[in-house]
Amino acid sequence: MDDPRTVKPAEAGSGPTTGESRQPSARDLDVLSRQLGRPVRDVVEIPARCVCGNPLVAATSPRLSNGTPFPTTYYLTHPVITSAVSRLEADGLMNAMNDRLGADTALAADYRAAHEAYLQARAEIGARAGVGAVPEIDGISAGGMPSRVKCLHVLVGHSLAAGPGVNPLGDEAIAGISEWWTRDRCYCDGAWDTAGEAPSRDLSRHGPQGLPEIVGRPAPVRKNRAADGAAGTKGSGQ
């Protein structure tokens, strides 16, 4: 019997949302606060959802209600994904990507195009939020774009919100976490605390991006290939 949390891609798929499904409901805001472990703020849209409907990414106003400019438009919120992406960062993937950006002119051009797409999307979200232009962050995107990779969580959030083919390195990172998360399944069960009231105390200026201990769920552990190889060699008597 199929796992009831598994949804075939032809029937549904997590990723970019459209129309009314982008508008955050009261339930969405409650879920986001539980995912992040802090009260959510200034969410304009839900640009990507799980197959079950829960938020994966929150689109935040480029100017917060307290007047602070906020360049990270797409904020990755799902604890399973943030934990998995943290493992990629710990494995050194950002360094490898930066090396490739310096050597591959086609990749660098595509990454710069992703930066421009991010700026355009942020301007559109700001317009829909009614905040207008935010000159303090004009030309500044997030995650190290357009020339470096500094935060994979930002790139994955962008790829999930915009869809495949917009941010090449975000797309690669999503492929890299397939051991722990894929678009066609729901991984929400047990991923955050659903008991009691949602968090009401903001303990951090920006929130626990990519810190799984905040939600009480350990990060998935990628197998150490070098250690596995050494163990295999030892076991074979070599």
- Residue-wise burial string across 210-219, b where 16 or more C-beta atoms lie within 10 A, e elsewhere: bbbebbebeb
Structural domain that includes position 184: 15-193+202-235
CA gap 36, 127 in Å, rounded: 26
Length reported for the chain: 238
CA gap 147, 22 in Å, rounded: 30
Residues 154-199 have pLDDT tens digits of: 999 999 999 999 999 999 999 999 999 999 999 999 999 999 898 8
Has residue 88 been placed in a domain? Answer: yes
- Per the prediction, the chain carries an average pLDDT of 84
pLDDT above 50 (res 229): no
Q: What percent of the chain has pLDDT over 90?
A: 73
Has residue 42 been placed in a domain? Answer: yes
Structural domain count of the chain: 1
- Number of C-beta neighbours around residue 61 at 10 A: 22
Has residue 117 been placed in a domain? Answer: yes
Has residue 185 been placed in a domain? Answer: yes
Has residue 41 been placed in a domain? Answer: yes
Has residue 6 been placed in a domain? Answer: no
Has residue 4 been placed in a domain? Answer: no
Can you tell me whether residue 217 is helix, strand or coil?
coil
Has residue 145 been placed in a domain? Answer: yes
pLDDT at residue 21, rounded to an integer: 83
pTM listed for this prediction = 0.80
pLDDT above 70 (res 228): no
pLDDT at residue 203, rounded to an integer: 57
Residues 11-38 have pLDDT tens digits of: 344 567 766 689 999 999 999 999 999 9
pLDDT at residue 15, rounded to an integer: 62
Q: How far is CA 60 from the centre of its chain?
A: 13
Mean pLDDT of 27-53: 96
pLDDT above 90 (res 110): yes
